[in-house]
């Protein structure tokens, strides 16, 4: 009788280890039925959190919470305890965690309280603030499995440099969050930890590859987390969970992920990944980015560019925005089209200049194809070898996209890079308006559709384009999908297979989108994250005046 594949036993042991790290007192007495979509209310009603812990986890963003701790309104320990509890609840409902180290976090919080009592000053800007960590980043003593059985039970010997930098600023790490198998998916599912669910609507995807981060923060089991992005993996989960997320320029915040699957030697070959924040507020994203910049990682990270944080003195002025409503591959569905048009009108009503590029140049379409080719230059051998090692099958989204093929030759790499440079040179012209003045930012969709069902994400062209160009970009929540959005007519066809899937498979289930979050993607110039955040803030303030009670502001 044939023995079962090794990955099954590994997954069983890993899940048992995970369960053992959740205190019995923090376990839910019962779980909601599968037909309960929005589960955020459970944190408040389950009885595990005290009234004060509910206040701590629901009232503030990371910036406000840091201030409350500095003023000793809350102790580091009670804040850490509140978020550990809420993360435990989130895990039971959403399957959003991988590694759990609550005990370590609570001990760290006690040390920080002692420091504040003895020194009278915080360790740094993040003193006592709990921060969650995408599984692919290393935390000493714990696995970074990339959703692969072959990488389980191989704890890191040292933490990623970004972890060390944030701990030096006072941060408290308490858990790592779920990702897709091989990180190569926009839906976070693997055979070790299972599928992560969306706290806003468990019928829809939580996104990927930083999907565990998005779900945990969407549930407010964290206020601020670290993600990575090679084709949309920060911006997509931010969109799915009604949050803010920023993908910086690739080499500004590089931090070696530390797993065998993301070896430092692969950096700079193909699409480089970006390290960035996902948070409940834009200023929380800025706080993390500034802290990491101030840590001067370029002194220890060979791939990180020396770029100290710049404080931009802003004065109210009309800004200039270019709107890209299509990538010429997949026409956005009506809810996405409508929120772009509304945003343009709102910005214009505030005196900002808006130019809508209804007919973008053809190189926009070329970027979509180039990103797909560059993403697969390695030929899938690395991931396939790791899967074969334990007999692990591919998950649904990965299966049709990952297969062994010949890796790109040196000549092919040269040609791809040459084409990318040519297209990037053309793309730089987008920044100039007809009067010769530069645009402050570009606004476009995060995706051509609202948040879809699991395993239904239709390509990543709207996000991967800016990985190809290596321009910083971020996602901000706009509003929720309305009945009027669902009754609006479809836009023009492009004739591509991607567009056909969008207009049929994704739109046929449009009722599922009702009430789900819509987001905008804001794009800046390379290495100008500070200017990007200013533009994001301007757009956020404009749309916040009309979006009303959004998912982001949902009171539990």
Q: Are strands 189-190 and 244-247 parallel, antiparallel or unpaired?
A: unpaired
Q: Are strands 172-177 and 130-134 parallel, antiparallel or unpaired?
A: parallel
Check 134, 176, 247, 525 and give the catalytic one.
Answer: 134
Check 136, 228, 233, 519 and give the catalytic one.
Answer: 233
Multiple choice CATH, 40-299, 1.10.3810.10, 3.90.1300.10, 3.40.50.300, 3.40.220.10: 3.90.1300.10
- The domain ranges of the chain are 40-299, 320-547
pLDDT of residue 275: 95
> Phi/psi at 335 (nearest 5 deg)?
-60, -35
Domains 40-299 and 320-547 agree in fold: yes
Residue 272 annotated in ligand binding: no
- Whole-angstrom Cα distance, residue 452 to residue 435? 40
Mean pLDDT on 89-102: 98
Task: Give the Cα-Cα-Cα angle 469, 280, 452 (nearest 5 degrees).
Answer: 65
Taking 50 as the threshold, does the pLDDT of residue 556 lie above it?
A: no
Mean pLDDT on 111-134: 98
Residue 209 annotated in ligand binding: yes
- Whole-angstrom Cα distance, residue 383 to residue 395? 13
pLDDT of residue 131: 98
- Which string of b and e fits 308-323 if b means at least 16 CB within 10 Å? eeeeeeeeeeebbbbb
* Residues whose CB falls within 8 Å of the CB of residue 533, separated by 6 or more in sequence, listed in order: 246, 282, 285, 286, 289, 474
Residue 516 annotated in ligand binding: no
Homologous superfamily, domain 320-547: Amidase signature (AS) domain (3.90.1300.10)
- Whole-angstrom Cα distance, residue 54 to residue 73? 15
- CA 408 vs CA 45, 405, 411: distances in Å: 54, 9, 8
Indicate whether this model's pTM tops 0.75: yes
Token couple for 287: 């706080």
> Phi/psi at 168 (nearest 5 deg)?
-65, -25
Q: pLDDT for 369-383, tens place per residue?
A: 888 888 778 888 889
- Whole-angstrom Cα distance, residue 247 to residue 267? 16
209 catalytic? Reply is yes
Task: Give the Cα-Cα-Cα angle 87, 89, 90 (nearest 5 degrees).
Answer: 60
Taking 80 as the threshold, does the pLDDT of residue 271 lie above it?
A: no
- Whole-angstrom Cα distance, residue 303 to residue 402? 27
- Residue 258's pLDDT band (cuts 50, 70, 90): low
145 catalytic? Reply is no
- Whole-angstrom Cα distance, residue 374 to residue 381? 15
Q: pLDDT for 509-553, tens place per residue?
A: 999 999 999 999 999 999 999 999 999 999 999 999 766 544 333
3-state secondary structure 496-511: CHHHHHHHHHHHHCHH
Contact by Cβ (8 Å): 335, 367: no
Q: pLDDT for 275-286, tens place per residue?
A: 999 999 999 999
- Whole-angstrom Cα distance, residue 476 to residue 245? 7
Q: In this structure, is the dihedral angle defined by the CA atoms of residues 141, 144, 147 and 151, taken in order, positive or negative?
A: negative
Query: 271 vs 73, which has greater pLDDT?
Result: 73
Q: pLDDT for 196-230, tens place per residue?
A: 999 999 999 999 999 999 999 999 999 999 999 99
Contact by Cβ (8 Å): 160, 400: no
- Whole-angstrom Cα distance, residue 405 to residue 523? 34
Q: pLDDT for 10-67, tens place per residue?
A: 999 999 999 999 999 999 999 999 999 999 999 999 999 999 999 999 999 999 999 9
- CA 494 vs CA 338, 360, 491, 521: distances in Å: 18, 13, 9, 21
Share of the chain above pLDDT 70, in %: 95
pLDDT of residue 555: 31
Q: Are strands 517-523 and 274-279 parallel, antiparallel or unpaired?
A: unpaired
Residue 233 annotated in ligand binding: yes
- CA 179 vs CA 48, 189, 314: distances in Å: 27, 6, 38
Check 209, 210, 255, 284 and give the catalytic one.
Answer: 209
134 catalytic? Reply is yes
- Residue 269's pLDDT band (cuts 50, 70, 90): low
Token couple for 542: 């404009």
Which H or E run includes 484? helix 483-487
């Amino acid at each position: 009788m044939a023995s079962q594949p090794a990955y099954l036993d590994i997954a069983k042991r890993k899940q048992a280890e995970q369960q053992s790290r959740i205190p019995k007192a923090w376990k839910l007495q019962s779980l909601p039925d599968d037909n309960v979509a929005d589960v955020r209310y459970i944190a408040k009603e389950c009885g595990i959190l005290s009234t004060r812990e509910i206040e701590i986890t629901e009232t503030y963003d990371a910036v406000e919470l840091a201030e409350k701790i500095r003023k000793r309104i809350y102790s580091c320990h009670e804040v850490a305890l509140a978020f550990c509890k809420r993360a435990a609840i989130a895990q039971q409902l959403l399957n959003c965690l991988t590694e759990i180290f609550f005990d370590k976090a609570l001990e760290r919080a006690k040390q920080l309280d002692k420091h504040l009592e003895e020194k009278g000053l915080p360790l740094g800007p993040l003193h006592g603030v709990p921060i969650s960590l995408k599984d692919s980043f290393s935390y000493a003593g714990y696995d970074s499995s990339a959703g692969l059985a072959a990488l389980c039970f191989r704890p890191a010997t040292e933490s990623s440099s970004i972890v060390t930098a944030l701990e030096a600023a006072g941060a408290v790490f308490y858990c790592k969050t779920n990702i897709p198998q091989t990180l190569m998916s926009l839906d976070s599912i693997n055979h070790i930890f299972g599928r992560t669910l969306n706290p806003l609507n468990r019928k829809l995807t939580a996104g990927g590859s930083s999907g565990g981060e998005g779900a945990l923060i969407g549930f407010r089991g964290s206020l601020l987390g670290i993600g990575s992005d090679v084709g949309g993996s920060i911006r997509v989960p931010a969109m799915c969970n009604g949050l803010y997320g920023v993908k910086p320029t690739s080499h500004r915040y590089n931090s070696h992920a530390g797993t065998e699957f993301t070896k430092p030697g692969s950096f700079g070959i193909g699409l480089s990944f970006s390290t960035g924040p996902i948070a409940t507020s834009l200023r929380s994203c800025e706080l993390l980015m500034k802290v990491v910049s101030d840590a001067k990682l370029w002194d220890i990270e060979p791939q990180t560019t020396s770029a100290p944080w710049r404080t931009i003195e802003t004065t109210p002025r009309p800004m200039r925005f270019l709107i890209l409503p299509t990538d010429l591959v997949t026409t956005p569905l009506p809810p996405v089209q409508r929120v772009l048009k509304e945003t343009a009108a709102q910005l214009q009503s505030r005196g900002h200049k808006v130019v809508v590029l209804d007919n973008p140049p053809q190189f926009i379409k070329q970027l979509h194809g180039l990103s797909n080719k560059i993403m697969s230059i390695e030929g899938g051998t690395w991931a396939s070898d790791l899967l074969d090692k334990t007999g692990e099958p591919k998950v649904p989204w990965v299966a049709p996209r990952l297969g062994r093929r010949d890796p790109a030759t040196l000549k092919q790499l040269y040609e791809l890079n040459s084409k990318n440079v040519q297209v990037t040179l053309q793309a730089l012209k987008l920044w100039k308006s007809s009067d010769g003045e530069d645009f402050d930012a570009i606004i476009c969709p995060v995706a051509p559709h609202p948040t879809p069902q699991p395993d239904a994400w239709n390509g990543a062209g709207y996000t991967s384009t800016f990985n190809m160009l290596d321009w910083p970009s971020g996602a901000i929540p706009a509003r929720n999908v309305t009945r009027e959005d669902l009754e609006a007519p479809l836009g023009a066809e492009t004739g591509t297979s991607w567009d056909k899937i969008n207009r049929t498979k994704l739109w046929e289930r449009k009722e599922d989108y009702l009430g789900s979050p819509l987001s905008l993607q804001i794009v800046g110039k390379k290495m100008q994250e500070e200017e990007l955040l200013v533009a994001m803030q301007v757009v956020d303030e404009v749309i916040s005046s009309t979006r009303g009670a959004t998912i982001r502001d949902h009171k539990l």
